[in-house]
Structure formats: structure tokens, C-alpha cells
Amino acid sequence: MNVLKLDPNHKPKLPEELEHSRPLDVHKWSDFKHVNVFIDVIWDEFFSSSYPVNTKAGNRSKSKPKKQLKVLLLDLYVAWLSDPTLLVGIGLSKSDYKAKSRYNELHISFELVNIVHLAV
């Protein structure tokens, strides 16, 4: 698994820091109104311009980018609450998202990688 080795200050992580990590928990979810408002604000402010509404017919992904952002932010928040130094690992290779993969089986697409890069 490739690891985006950046913190908010863009400093590379040391190998021992990378050992203190866990994979993204793709099961994090909340329907609380406050969470949805928070996600809407973040989406509208930083992501919506990169994801215009698609009105064309055709194949659509099973999980919309905004939903994937919500999973990412909720899991990062839960990780931070439990341990502010804990890193969350996310696959950055297309092969991590192929059919029958951990992410694909849970309707998380390679678009998550673009979302992560936009967030950084």
C-alpha cells in the first residue's frame, strides 16, 4: 500500500511514525444532523467546484464523492479523538480499488484518492 506521507505541515513521516497507523475504516458513518451540516460546509467550500453535478445519462459510481469524503472525514476524526498521533493509511494505487478489493466491495472508488489529494 502506498502511503501519503504528509502531515498538515507537509513534513515526511519517519518509519517509526508510520508504524503507528491503521487502515481507513470504511464503515464509519453518521446520520446526525450536525455531522451532515459539517460535511455540507466542507464539501461546498472546498470540493464542490471539483465535482460539478452530472446530469448526463450513463453509468454512475455506486458511491458519490461526497459520501466518500464523509467516510474519510469521520474516520480521521474518530482516529484523532482516540489518538492525535495515529495515522490512517489509505491505498493510493488504482489496483487497491479493483473489483473484489477491500474498498470496491464497500463501494469506495478510486475517486477517494482524488479526494485525499484535494484535502491535503
- 91 within a domain of the structure (yes/no): yes
Q: Which residues contact 108 (CB under 8 A, 6 or more apart)?
A: 26, 63, 68, 71, 97
What's the pTM?
Answer: 0.80
Contact 78, 28 (CB under 8 A): yes
- 101 within a domain of the structure (yes/no): yes
- 24 within a domain of the structure (yes/no): yes
pLDDT per residue as tens digits for the range 42-94:
999 999 999 887 656 555 555 799 999 999 999 999 999 999 999 999 999 99
- 2 within a domain of the structure (yes/no): no
